[in-house]
Every structure is written in C-alpha cells, then in structure tokens.
Amino acid sequence: MLSIFISKSELMNFAVQREKFFAEAGAVARFTAGFFRQAFRPGYEFREFLRQCYTIGYLSLPLVAVTGFIMGLVLTMQLRPSLVDYGVEAELPAMVAIAVIREIGPVITALIFAGKIGSSIGAELGSMRVTEQIDAMEVSGTNPFKYLVVTRIAAATLMLPVLVVLSDAISLYGAYLGVNIKAVTSPGLFITQVFDALDFSDVVPAIIKTFFFGFAVGVIGCYKGYHSSKGTEGVGRATNAAVVISSLIIFIIDLVVVQITDILGLN
C-alpha cells in the first residue's frame, strides 16, 4: 500500500500559488475592462494607433510571409507520400488548403505574432515603466493607458487577422510550388481545387478567432509591460511571461473555438 505524504509547507506553498494565480487573473480582467472603458471614450489617439498598426502589422509582414511560404511548401511535401500510398494524390491541393486555412495558418501565424509582438510590447512598456516614463506622462496630464495600451491592443487585434489572410495566401503559393515539384499543375487548376474544397464554415470561423488571438496577445503584452517592476530583471521577466502566456492562451482560445464550431455543426 502506497502512502502519499504532503508536508504542511507544501500545502501552504500551493495555497499561496493559487492565491497569486487568482489575484493575477483578477488584475488582468480589470486591465481588460479598463481597455474597453478607455477605448470608446473621446480623446482618441489616431496618430499613435496608425503608427502601431504600421509597427505591429507592416513590419511583421516579412517574418510572417517567410513562415507562411515555408509552412505551405513543407506541408505539401510531407503530405504527398501518404496520399500517394492511398492513391489520392490528386486531393493534395484540397487537403493542404483545408489544413492551412482552418487551423495551421491562423495558429502558427498567431504564435509567430506572439513571439515578435508580445515580447516587443512587453519589453517596450516594461522599459518605460522602470525608467518612470509612464509616471512622467501621468504627471504631465497625458493619459498613458489610452496612449500606450489602448492603441497597441487595438492595433494587435486589427493587424493579426490581416497578417493571417496574407500568410494563408502565401502558404497556398508555397503549396502550389510544392505540388509542382513532382507533378505539373496549372495555376488555374490548383486554384479551382483549393476553392472547391473550401466552404464558408472553413474560412469565417478561422478569421474570427484571429481577432481573439490578436486581442489576447495585445492584452497580455501590455499588462505584463505596464505592470513591470524590479528594474531590468523585471523587464526580462515581463517579456518572457508575455510570450509564454500569450502562446498558451492562443491554444486555449483555439480549443474553445473548435469546440464551439463542432457544437454548431460548422466542422
């Protein structure tokens, strides 16, 4: 018979960790509520919002494009042998298109986005916090939350779906090249096979969930950076936590969306 002994100190440590988790979750919820309060309040920072769209969206395009191209090419090359074994090689464009549009494209692009943008936002706001620039903005009468946080979250929420659409298109181009490595398929035939395989229920839920991905990355990155402390060490921790937590939440959101679409019969 096995006995499991848990010391009093371990129980106390578990209770402390649980309390810290719920306190952190409550703080993130209040931070998110603050975003919605400030986002629709007059005094909009359109210039800063457009600058963040350029920084978050346009400057991320090269990395997303390269990732998308390699993703489509590699997926096609990996799927071909299995389809050849089953004698359905002709279905390769359709299978790649469904896989990329519905799941792989949005999730991989969101993870790349979390790594690049989540860390960037966390490090930038964290540096501003520990160097007291945010405090200086408050003293000068500027609303740092609206100027720094709202614009970045809104830009991340808007730009990620755009990046995902572009990544999907580039992935399909990579898939087209992959199909033509060992066969000859015209662009028209490839496009026809792709669009014949896709349905409304494939595209729309995949695009909608990317708004939630972008919002989560923006909120977590801004929260960790805005509440950073303990100097440069705190900035490093904030940056790391922004990437790790954002990536985890992306998977959780994806799981929830898949369950909802399954319940609604959209799969």
Residue 34 covered by a domain: no
| Structure-block tokens of residue 218 | 């923006």
Residue 9 covered by a domain: no
Residue 94 has pLDDT above 60, yes or no: yes
CA distance 96 to 171: 9
Backbone angles phi, psi at 181, to 5 degrees: -65, -40
Q: Tell me the Ramachandran region of residue 254: left when phi exceeds 0, alpha when psi lies from -120 to 50, beta otherwise.
A: alpha
Overall number of domains in the chain:
1
**Confidence band (pLDDT; 50, 70, 90) for 267?**
low
Of 107, 112, 126, nearest in space to 241 by CA: 126
In Å, how far from its chain's centre is CA 95? Answer: 24
What is the extent of the structural domain holding 207?
A: 44-263
CA distance 145 to 158: 19
CA distance 169 to 198: 13
Question: What is the arithmetic mean of pLDDT over 140-166?
Answer: 93
Q: Summarize pLDDT for 27-58 with one digit per residue, the tens.
A: 899 999 999 999 888 888 899 999 999 999 99
Residue 1 has pLDDT above 70, yes or no: no
Question: What is the arithmetic mean of pLDDT over 110-127?
Answer: 93
Go through the chain and tell me how many residues it has.
267
**Confidence band (pLDDT; 50, 70, 90) for 90?**
confident
Residue 174 has pLDDT above 60, yes or no: yes
Residue 4 has pLDDT above 60, yes or no: no
For the chain, the straight-line distance linking the first and the last C-alpha, in angstroms and rounded, comes to 47
| Local structure of residue 40 (DSSP, 8 states) | T
Residue 220 covered by a domain: yes
Residue 23 covered by a domain: no
Handedness of CA 28, 33, 34, 36 (dihedral sign): positive
**Confidence band (pLDDT; 50, 70, 90) for 15?**
confident
| Structure-block tokens of residue 33 | 């509520």
Which residues, in sequence order, are CB contacts of 169 under 8 Å at separation 6+? 68
Convert 14-35 to b/e letters by CB count within 10 Å (16 or more is b): eeeeeeeeeeeeeebeebbeeb
Q: Summarize pLDDT for 222-262 with one digit per residue, the tens.
A: 999 998 877 778 888 889 999 999 999 999 999 999 888 88
Distances in Å between the Cα of 22 and the Cα atoms of 12, 18, 227, 243 are 16, 6, 16, 20
DSSP line for 191-238: HHHHHHH--HHHHHHHHHHHHHHHHHHHHHHHHHHHT--SHHHHHHHH
Residue 211 has pLDDT above 70, yes or no: yes
SS3 content of the chain, % helix, strand, coil (to 5): 85, 0, 15
Q: Is the entire prediction scored with pTM above 0.85?
A: yes
Residue 64 covered by a domain: yes
Handedness of CA 203, 209, 213, 218 (dihedral sign): positive
Residue 30 covered by a domain: no
Per-residue pLDDT, 116: 93
Residue 14 covered by a domain: no
Of 247, 212, 244, 242, nearest in space to 28 by CA: 242
Question: What is the arithmetic mean of pLDDT over 123-152?
Answer: 89
Residue 208 covered by a domain: yes
E strand map for the chain: none
Per-residue pLDDT, 85: 80
